[in-house]
Structure 1
Amino acid sequence: MSDRFGRKPALFTTIIIQTVATFIQIFSPNWEAFSIIFFFVGAGSVSNYVIAYVLGIEILSPGVRVVFSSLGVFVSSAIGYMLMPPVAYFIREWRWLLVPMAGSGLIYIPLWWVIPESPRWLLSQGRVEEAEAILRDAAGRNGVEAPEVIFTPSEVEDALAMRDMKHNILDVMRSSNMLSITVLCSLLWMIVSCGYFALILNTSNLNGNPYINCFLSGVVEVPAYFIALVLLRYCSRHLCQSSTLFLGGTVILFINIVPTDLPGLAIFLEMVGKFAITAAFCVVYSVTTELFPTVVRNMAMGTCSMAARIVTILSPFIIYLGNNYKYLPYILIGSLAIFGGLFCFILPESYGRVLPETISQMQQIKGCRCNTDQETKNIDSKSEFRKESKL
């Protein structure tokens, strides 16, 4: 939806789906109805999170982009996470707990008149005048004088040529280069999601008050995103991704050797592991958006997010493995994190590079260099064939 109809319409559509579904959920007559409605709550929630991230990345400059991705999106999420346990502590009845969750969706209404459409997406659709208008408005707001000519004639010509080339999810799989990057990014998302959500779900199994443990789990995310900001700003993406996954995996594996009479140390190590995995989550979003071009960026993000949700579904069962052997979940999570820290080096380095606009501008992964140019031409020709077929 986002790549086809625009970032802004898709964003607010999914926000409406989440808000309305949460409101309807309040009146669930039974558990089955609650679960069915919850499907739409989750669909709207995950979708608008990914779309909002892509929209912000495409609007902002490279320097501000890193701040937005770490502090703007993820720290805001962490603050919401921290607020959830205190609210749940004072509102124990689940129907009333859903009321503030549904009501929070109303704060998005004024943002329709504040948030612009992505100029990059508009340009990819050949809507040059609209993209120019947004950029001139942004320049005026920032006190910067916009150049007389924003897009060169060649850029306008390329934009108009791309206008009739409609891309779909199959385009992500037709090129061996793009397919390899998609698979590797999806695996990274799955590994990070496995550790992140399993550790979140495990907070209720830790010693102590579950509300306090959940609050602490949210607190450790705030410094994690600040660390991610520093890493993303000054370090290569390979170093950012590998260091956070190595740290998280190693610390989580150390939990296995903690004596049973030191539960506080085990909680501390788990929070440190959650800290590192959380930073890795922030990094994998940036890596993915920087590798894929504008024409399929949201489709690629959605594909990786979908892969991550498959592992998220399995996360409760990973925790249940602890019923057979207490430390088995930690061994699995830690080992996967270290494995992810190793194979992330296969991906191209995107630090300091301009966001790609078209498939042909994507970086090449090792081993796919020989046939990428021909495959890119095939994708473009197939897009052209679909256009002619419609005509």
Structure 2
Amino acid sequence: MDESIIWLMANGRKEQALKCIKRAAWWNNKDFETVVQAGYTSDGSCDIGEIEGSEGNRETSPMVLEDIKAIDSKILPEPQEDSSGSESDADGTVGERVSFVRVLRNKTLFINSVAMWVTWFSASLCYFTLYLMVSSLAGDKYLNYTLTSLMDVPACFIFFFGFNRYGRRSVTILLYSILAIGTFALGLLRHFTDDKDSTWSVVILITSLISIVGGSGCFFSIFFYLPELFPTNVRNQATGFASCFARIGAMISPFMGVLAKVAIWVPGLVMCALASIAVFLLFLLPETKSRQLPQSLAEMESWFKKDKLSEERKTTTNALA
């Protein structure tokens, strides 16, 4: 399989990107020269987003002709790896290779990274802790586990119908809020009520199921939300590190049973605290609904500036009203 054309362009590997385009044009019986011309702007820079569906009526630039001749003659130079971490401008433009150290030094990416690490960690720890606590609930264990497994269905519906309509951040905050409120209520109920009582045992089970809906939905949301928060250069690294924090949360979850033996309300309080912190951090992130995936650091930073300006305008409008 060929590498993603967008990723190649974002990392400055123009020759390889053109080679992939030529192969795609051949498979689809399209004229390669027309396809390449469609992706170039008047100043000679390449815009991959305009290639599809174009009629190729732009003027051919010298740069385009040179690229086509280079590919047709099969004299494509091998890409030179740049160990310094940057191939072009240092302002986060397309063509820059961003190392993970650069991610930690950049304020925007650092906020995104910390928020995603905490949200993935809390979602994993809470989700698996709730699953493991099902065996301690009153009633038939098999029925309880069956009902718990079925809670992925309503979580999926909330995610499916809400993600594109109300936005990524809004739905994710909603699901983490459900998780926080549910686990807090679960901790209080386990502490102040007798789960041997049939009425309270049903209430505790329902509260646990609601918490599972929130935890399951959180997993759906963050898996889709994270890739939209990082530029192409570091998207895989960001996903890998966030997934690592999720595995750490999963490894810690079995030990929440030890805390329950000390005080039965402690696991619920810990899960509520983690979910609440995740909600707070999510408010620091931009909304990615109806936005194309960011290709550079500069584009990612512009999102924060636009969101901040939009909030200031709303505040001013409300004050005047």
TM-score bucket (shorter structure) = 0.5 to 0.7
Deviation at 1:361, TM superposition (A): 1.8
Matching of residues 189-268 of structure 1 within 5 Å: 189-255=120-186, 256-257=188-189, 259=193, 260=195, 261=197, 262-268=200-206
Q: Quote the sequence identity (%).
A: 23
1:290 to 2:176 alignment:
no
Offset, 1:277: 1.6
1:149 Cα deviation after fit? 4.6
Aligned equivalents of 2:27, 2:135: Cα separation in 1? 46
Residue of structure 2 in register with 1:129 after alignment: 18
Distance 1:363 1:135, change over 3 A: farther
Deviation at 1:343, TM superposition (A): 2.7
What does residue range 39-54 of structure 1 map to in structure 2 within 5 Å?
A: none
Whether the 8 Å contact between 2:9 and 2:17 is mirrored in structure 1 is yes
Secondary structure of the corresponding residue to residue 283 of structure 2: helix
Deviation at 1:287, TM superposition (A): 2.0
Once the two structures are TM-superposed, the CA of residue 288 in structure 1 deviates from its matched residue by 1.3
Contact 1:119-1:134 at 8 Å conserved across structures:
no
Q: 1:346 to 1:166 in 2, by over 3 A?
A: closer
- Conserved 8 A contact 1:180-1:365: no
- The equivalent of 1:155 in structure 2 is 46
CA gap of 1:237–1:363, structure 2 versus 1, over 3 A, is: farther
Measured in 1, the distance between the counterparts of 2:140 and 2:267 equals: 21
- Amino acid paired to 1:346: L
Gaps of 5+ in 1: 1-7, 9-115, 141-145, 370-391
Relative to structure 1, is the Cα distance of residues 119 and 220 closer, same or farther in structure 2, using a 3 angstrom cutoff?
Answer: farther
1:242-293: per-residue Cα shift (whole Å, max 9, x none)?
1111112112222223632122221121111110121122112222110101
- SS for the counterpart of 2:99 is coil
Matches within 5 A, 1:19-98: none
The alignment's TM-score, normalised by the length of structure 1, stands at 0.56
Q: Aligned pair 1:357/2:295, yes or no?
A: yes
Q: Is the 8 A contact 1:119 1:135 kept in 2?
A: no
More helix by share: 1
Match of 1:171 among 98, 102, 105: 102
Unaligned runs of 5+ in 2: 48-62, 68-78, 80-86, 89-93, 308-321
For the pair shown, the structure with the greater C-alpha radius of gyration is 2
Q: Give the aligned residue type for 1:151.
A: G
Deviation for aligned residue 1:173 = 1.7
Superposed CA offset, 1:314-356 (max 9, x none): 1111232110111211121123213322331111221211101
CA shift in 2, pair 1:366/1:132, >3 Å: closer
Partner of 2:57: none
Identify the residue that residue 323 of structure 1 maps to in structure 2.
261
For the residues of structure 2 that align with 1:305 and 1:297, how far apart are their CA atoms? Answer: 12
**Match status 1:307 vs 2:245:** yes
Deviations 1:4-42 (A, max 9, x none): xxxx7xxxxxxxxxxxxxxxxxxxxxxxxxxxxxxxxxx
Aligned pairs, how many? Answer: 248
Relative to the length of structure 2, the TM-score reads: 0.67
Q: Which amino acid aligns with 2:249?
A: V
Is 1:276 aligned to 2:208, yes or no?
no
Over the aligned positions, Cα root-mean-square deviation in angstroms equals 3.3
